[in-house]
Structure 1
Amino acid sequence: MTEAQPLTIAIDGTRSVSALWLAPPAARAALVLAHGAGAGMTHKGMVGTAEGLATRGIATLRFQFPYMEQGGKRPDPPALAQQAVRAAVAEAGRRAGALPLFAGGRSFGARMTSQAQALSPLPDVRGLVFLAFPLHPAGKPSTERAAHLREVGVPMLFLQGTHDTLAELDLLRPVVAALGDPADLALFEDADHSFHVPARTGRRDAEVLAEILDAAAGWMTARS
């Protein structure tokens, strides 16, 4: 396995964040991979995702949001988080060269990436990949967080567990359907927001992650 290369990405004149660039030999595409609200780019889930994608020919650029870089627990305001996404996409574009470029991430990172794209297209990004898109807070079902998705303008892939309490399926399915051909929904049985599956299912989390990464890599490759 190729080792991830540590980077520093400037967000603006006063802020910078850490990042990791992992590019396998003969990569077919590159993905900017933003972390969720509660764990940064070195969390085992993010590492497993990046390394698993590398074995499937997808390079990744993971990065820290500013609050995570500073050891904070409260996520950045959307404007700052979106600025970090843009800086990471620009850095990935420089490193990816001619590789087809995608962006997205887990939960909070997915939502900040989609908001950034909806406000102003991310340069050279061909599509967005969402791992556990947080459609609503747990226990507060709504579709308000989906309103901006109509403005995204590039293909989207939603990778969701069927037991995700932050994306009830009776709400998520019509949201994705209303987006039309640019949006695809891949469901993973019994998986929760962290893609964990109960032991009683006879499946392991690693198996579910492998299915998710197969779907993500296949979707990006088909659009490369």
Structure 2
Amino acid sequence: MSTKTTETVPTPVGDARITWHRAPGAHAVLAVSHGAGGGIEARDLRALAAALPGHGVSVALVEQPWRVAGKKVAPAPKTLDTGWRALWPAVAKAGLPIVAGGRSAGARVACRTARELGAAAVLALSFPLHPPGKPEKSRAEELLGAGVPTLVVQGGRDPFGRPEEFPELPAGTELVEVPHGDHGFAVPKSAGVDEPETLALITGAVSGWLPRALG
């Protein structure tokens, strides 16, 4: 059983909040943040927080300062990175290897800062490869520049980038497709799979990848 606690972390851009789901005898931490249009209540983040402590991985669900302050719109990427850097010592204090993670905009933050912060790996959920309908505005460089083992979990019909749109990935970077999933990993009723099956695919992919990524 994991233990759940919450802590507030001051940053230069406002207070961030971490909701911990701690694994007994944890050997690693997954610090994972939300996207620009939602919070830590996202279905994939909730599922990972429920599943991973059973595999010895504590999960830190990170709410960026703009969400804690009740704002509706995310700030510029530079501001997101500032908040993430400032809260990093709070997730690092246990002295365990840290996987930097995020969904959508949070995945971009994790990729941009992974090497600098000493992350052991990156988990990119619904990486926004490009704005919807604008494949020419690619953000692939952020993903390819993470510099650490990376897992991309991408919905098969994500308008921000379907799996087949991704460039050839370097060694150490893996991509798992969530069939029929949209940007939030919702699947249509016509898909023949339900939400529990979809979430089990995601948590299974992540728990299977973590031992490889952490060596």
Q: TM-score, normalised by structure 1?
A: 0.87
8 Å CA contact 2:28–2:97 kept in 1: the answer is: yes
Q: Could you say which residue in structure 1 is the equivalent of 2:10?
A: 10
| Cα distance between partner residues in 1 of 2:139 and 2:213 | 26
The Cα offsets for residues 154-193 of structure 1, whole Å up to 9 and x where unpaired, read as 1111011111111133321xx2x2x410211111211111
Aligned with 2:155 (options 161, 172, 177): 161
8 Å CA contact 1:86–1:122 kept in 2: the answer is: yes
Q: Could you say which residue in structure 2 is the equivalent of 1:89?
A: 88
**Pairing of 1:157-196 with structure 2 (within 5 A):** 157-172=151-166, 175=167, 177=168, 179-196=169-186
DSSP 3-state at the match of 2:67: helix
Deviation at 1:132, TM superposition (A): 0.7
| Cα distance between partner residues in 1 of 2:162 and 2:136 | 9
8 Å CA contact 1:131–1:160 kept in 2: the answer is: yes
| Cα distance between partner residues in 2 of 1:108 and 1:55 | 27
Instruction: Give 4+ residue runs of structure 1 displaced > 3 Å after superposition.
Output: 42-45
| Cα distance between partner residues in 2 of 1:72 and 1:10 | 17
**Pairing of 1:8-87 with structure 2 (within 5 A):** 8-12=8-12, 15-87=14-86
8 Å CA contact 2:47–2:203 kept in 1: the answer is: no
2:121 aligned with 1:121: no
Q: Could you say which residue in structure 2 is the equivalent of 1:221?
A: 211
2:195 aligned with 1:200: no
The Cα offsets for residues 111-169 of structure 1, whole Å up to 9 and x where unpaired, read as 1221223xx6213x111001111111122223521123343211111011111111133
8 Å CA contact 1:36–1:109 kept in 2: the answer is: yes
Listed as ranges, the gaps of 5+ residues in structure 1 are none
After superposition, the Cα gap between the structure-2 partners of 1:46 and 1:151, relative to the gap in structure 1 and judged at 3 Å, is closer
- Deviating more after overlay: 43-52 vs 180-189: 43-52
DSSP 3-state at the match of 1:144: coil
After superposition, the Cα gap between the structure-2 partners of 1:143 and 1:157, relative to the gap in structure 1 and judged at 3 Å, is farther
| Cα distance between partner residues in 2 of 1:169 and 1:42 | 24
8 Å CA contact 1:129–1:158 kept in 2: the answer is: yes
8 Å CA contact 1:143–1:171 kept in 2: the answer is: no
Listed as ranges, the gaps of 5+ residues in structure 2 are none
Q: Could you say which residue in structure 1 is the equivalent of 2:99?
A: 102
| Cα distance between partner residues in 2 of 1:223 and 1:148 | 19
Amino acid at match of 2:6: P
| Cα distance between partner residues in 2 of 1:150 and 1:208 | 26
| Cα distance between partner residues in 1 of 2:192 and 2:174 | 27
